[in-house]
């Protein structure tokens, strides 16, 4: 009865979409996905904080919400912004207004922070029909392998990039920097500052030599798209120390296998196993952020975003190229900053000690994440169990818990809370469930 009253009250107070939430709540009466008053307050409080944060840190961006909608926000650039980028297909200039779903973003990105984003043998083995339905898709021309009919052959092709268990755990590293390839990097000498991070993550063919003043020297990881991965022999020359860990976003190719063995390439090479964020977030840059968020306590980004008055989108080491949506990108990264996921560094935000004002607090984010999981009917929504989102749980025989000796306290604490589980994203799974492997009893 109380729920009914609340439903009417909300409908009257805030219109149709509240009514819809109410109906969704009622039809879910027998599951745990009802939204409580607290949930609605949490979403409201996230929205309010978010709007403030965007207006304080967004260099002119404003977040606008539609009265009663708890999730949709529109980020608007000032009307005098001059877009420079034209869609090569339609010839149209990029717009000045972008819509995002905050609930979707907070639920998905918070999950990334506890997930493992490296493909392992343990994952394929634990996934129902992992070899037949999944593994061959990560091999170039895998279709020819007849869904890994010959598993030995399939494994042979993957073996050089397939560790048994995850090489990294959540929160293993403290401060990480992800370096994009924007031409803006040449405006500020960020080099020294970047080298001070515990971990530096770069992308594709980004050079270090001749640019160290601007982009630093340190390089711990490099995310590679298909094109760059095919030139693996050239990529390893970009890092003098030859210690960079290479992470391939797409598929393993026979050419790469051959290079790893024959060049030889001694750097560790892995395949990334990522969540999908829809078309807004497919590029190497976002994948690099996703990877960083899955292993680091804090993530700072350099060379990703265009400041007001930008002239064109270029890379710091070559001519401009097509395929970018710089304003959309800036809006998306601003959303990430105002969800407390990253901190943006750019020519106009170059002060290392810059404080991101009005970021919603940790407790607001957590409460809003829980409410969003319910609203989006994610697996295990509303449960307090830290393994709530695990739609598939496996205890592989003899699986040892991750070796946590020598790890940061935060990483060890996290392992304790999740009972030594490893959580893998299940890309196309309804409700965004996770595959979780647990240590054997």
- Interface residues with ligand NAG (CB under 6 A)? 110-111, 114, 150, 152-153, 156, 207, 209-210, 386, 389, 414, 417
- Here the tokens at position 246 are 């290479």
**Residue 335 or 344 with smaller CB distance to ligand NAG:** 335
| Smallest distance, ligand NAG to C-beta of residue 57, A | 24
**Residue 209 or 312 with smaller CB distance to ligand NAG:** 209
**Residue 344 or 371 with smaller CB distance to ligand NAG:** 371
**Inter-CA distances, 323 with 85, 87, 94, 162, 282, Å:** 9, 8, 12, 31, 12
| Smallest distance, ligand NAG to C-beta of residue 135, A | 14
| Smallest distance, ligand NAG to C-beta of residue 152, A | 4
| Smallest distance, ligand NAG to C-beta of residue 345, A | 23
**Inter-CA distances, 112 with 107, 120, 163, 426, Å:** 9, 17, 20, 11
**Residue 233 or 307 with smaller CB distance to ligand NAG:** 233
| Smallest distance, ligand NAG to C-beta of residue 370, A | 8
| Smallest distance, ligand NAG to C-beta of residue 266, A | 20
| Smallest distance, ligand NAG to C-beta of residue 190, A | 18
**Residue 99 or 237 with smaller CB distance to ligand NAG:** 237
**Residue 110 or 337 with smaller CB distance to ligand NAG:** 110
* Contact of 380 with 145, CB cutoff 8 Å: no
| Smallest distance, ligand NAG to C-beta of residue 161, A | 17
Cis peptide before 264 (omega within 30 of 0): yes
**Residue 156 or 254 with smaller CB distance to ligand NAG:** 156
| Smallest distance, ligand NAG to C-beta of residue 287, A | 19
CA atoms within 13 A on the CB side of 287: 23
**Strand ordering across the sheet containing 422-425:** 390-394, 434-437, 422-425
**Residue 130 or 207 with smaller CB distance to ligand NAG:** 207
**Residue 108 or 346 with smaller CB distance to ligand NAG:** 108
**Residue 41 or 297 with smaller CB distance to ligand NAG:** 297
**Residue 58 or 380 with smaller CB distance to ligand NAG:** 380
| Smallest distance, ligand NAG to C-beta of residue 47, A | 19
| Smallest distance, ligand NAG to C-beta of residue 364, A | 14
């Amino acid at each position: 009865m109380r729920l009914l009253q609340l439903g009417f009250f909300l409908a009257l107070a805030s219109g149709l979409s509240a009514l819809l939430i109410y109906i969704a709540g009622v039809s879910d009466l027998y599951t745990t996905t009802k939204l409580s008053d607290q949930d609605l307050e949490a979403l409201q409080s996230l929205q309010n904080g978010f709007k403030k944060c965007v207006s304080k840190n967004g260099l002119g961006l404003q977040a606008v919400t539609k009265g009663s909608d708890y999730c949709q926000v529109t980020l608007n650039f000032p009307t005098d912004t001059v877009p420079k980028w034209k869609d090569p297909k339609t010839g149209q200039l990029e717009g000045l207004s972008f819509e995002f779903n905050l609930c979707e973003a907070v639920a998905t990105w918070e999950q990334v922070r506890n997930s493992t984003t490296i493909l392992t043998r343990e994952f394929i083995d634990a996934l129902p029909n992992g070899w037949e339905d999944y593994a061959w898709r990560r091999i170039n021309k895998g279709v020819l392998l007849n869904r890994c009919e010959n598993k030995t052959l399939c494994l042979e092709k993957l073996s050089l990039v397939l560790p048994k268990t995850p090489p990294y755990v959540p929160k293993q590293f403290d401060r990480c920097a992800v370096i994009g390839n924007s031409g803006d990097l040449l405006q500020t000498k960020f080099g020294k500052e970047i080298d001070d991070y515990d971990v530096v993550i770069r992308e594709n063919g980004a050079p270090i030599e001749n640019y160290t003043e601007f982009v630093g020297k340190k390089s711990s990881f490099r995310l590679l798209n298909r094109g760059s991965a095919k030139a693996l022999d050239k990529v390893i020359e970009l890092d003098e120390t030859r210690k960079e860990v290479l992470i391939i976003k797409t598929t393993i190719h026979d050419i790469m296998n051959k290079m790893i063995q024959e060049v030889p390439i001694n750097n560790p090479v892995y395949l990334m196993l990522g969540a999908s964020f829809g078309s807004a977030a497919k590029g190497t840059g976002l994948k690099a952020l996703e990877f960083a968020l899955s292993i680091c306590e804090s993530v700072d980004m350099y060379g990703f975003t265009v400041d007001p008055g930008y002239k064109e989108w270029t890379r710091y080491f070559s001519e401009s190229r097509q395929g970018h949506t710089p304003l959309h990108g800036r809006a998306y990264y601003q959303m990430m900053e105002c969800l407390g996921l990253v901190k943006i560094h750019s020519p106009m935000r170059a002060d290392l000690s810059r404080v991101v004002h009005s970021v919603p607090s940790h407790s607001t984010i957590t409460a809003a994440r829980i409410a969003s999981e319910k609203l989006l009917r994610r697996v295990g929504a509303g449960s307090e169990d830290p393994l709530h989102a695990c739609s598939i749980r496996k205890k592989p025989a003899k699986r040892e818990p991750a070796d946590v000796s020598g790890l940061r306290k935060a990483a060890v604490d996290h392992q304790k809370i999740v009972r030594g589980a490893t959580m893998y994203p299940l890309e196309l799974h309804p409700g965004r469930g996770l595959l979780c492997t647990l240590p054997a009893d």
